Amino acid sequence: MAEELKIAAGDKEDKYHELVPQARALVESEDDLIAALANLSAALAGTFNWLWTGFYLVKNGVLVLGPFQGPIACTRIPRGKGVCGASWAENRTLIVPDVEAFPGHIACSSLSRSEIVVPLRNRAGEVVGVLDVDSEALAAFDEVDARHLEDIVSALTHLFD
């Protein structure tokens, strides 16, 4: 595919409509995990005005920081801790409209107000990492984000064989 994203102006649904096929193509044609995650974090961050967009990968029983776009972040998150660790433990997408109302939220940046975390799964359905997105706005994420981000990360499954 072209080494450039084409995203026209529009609302969130319009942007995802253009982004999803391009993002899927970007990672489906790649066989290196880090290369795919690095480009995907850039594609997402370049499309939306988010504070932090990136990945944590399960390594030796803990989530370890992977490719991301945004300010520096915590490098390790235990299972069940914070929004990322909860998404891993519960194996489901978590939408947090107000991070201060989430028990155990890990504040990597004091600017973060809301967050969505989407699990990455291998073919067996086990969680092997998470996509974490933070916004400076309250309630920035909803089911539209969940549906499209889940669609995008499902294209990564072949990289976890």
Binding site for ligand SME (CB under 6 A): 52, 73-74, 77, 82-84, 105-106, 108, 112, 115, 132, 134
Q: Which is nearer to ligand SME, 105 or 148 (CB)?
A: 105
CA distance 49 to 4: 18
Q: Which is nearer to ligand SME, 64 or 73 (CB)?
A: 73
Taking the complex as a whole, the smallest distance from the CB of residue 63 to ligand SME amounts, in Å, to 8
* Residues ≥6 apart with Cβ < 8 Å to 16: 144, 145, 148
CA distance 119 to 29: 21
* 154: region left, alpha or beta (phi > 0 left; psi from -120 to 50 alpha): alpha
Taking the complex as a whole, the smallest distance from the CB of residue 52 to ligand SME amounts, in Å, to 5
Q: End-to-end distance of the chain based on CA atoms, in angstroms?
A: 24
Taking the complex as a whole, the smallest distance from the CB of residue 60 to ligand SME amounts, in Å, to 18
Tell me which residue of 40, 70, 50, 64 sits closest to 129, measured CA to CA. Answer: 64
Other CB atoms within 10 Å distance of the CB of residue 76: 12
Taking the complex as a whole, the smallest distance from the CB of residue 25 to ligand SME amounts, in Å, to 26
User: What would the two tokens of residue 75 be?
Assistant: 């490098």
Sequence letter at residue 74? C
Q: Which is nearer to ligand SME, 47 or 87 (CB)?
A: 87
Q: Which is nearer to ligand SME, 30 or 55 (CB)?
A: 55
Q: Which is nearer to ligand SME, 16 or 88 (CB)?
A: 88
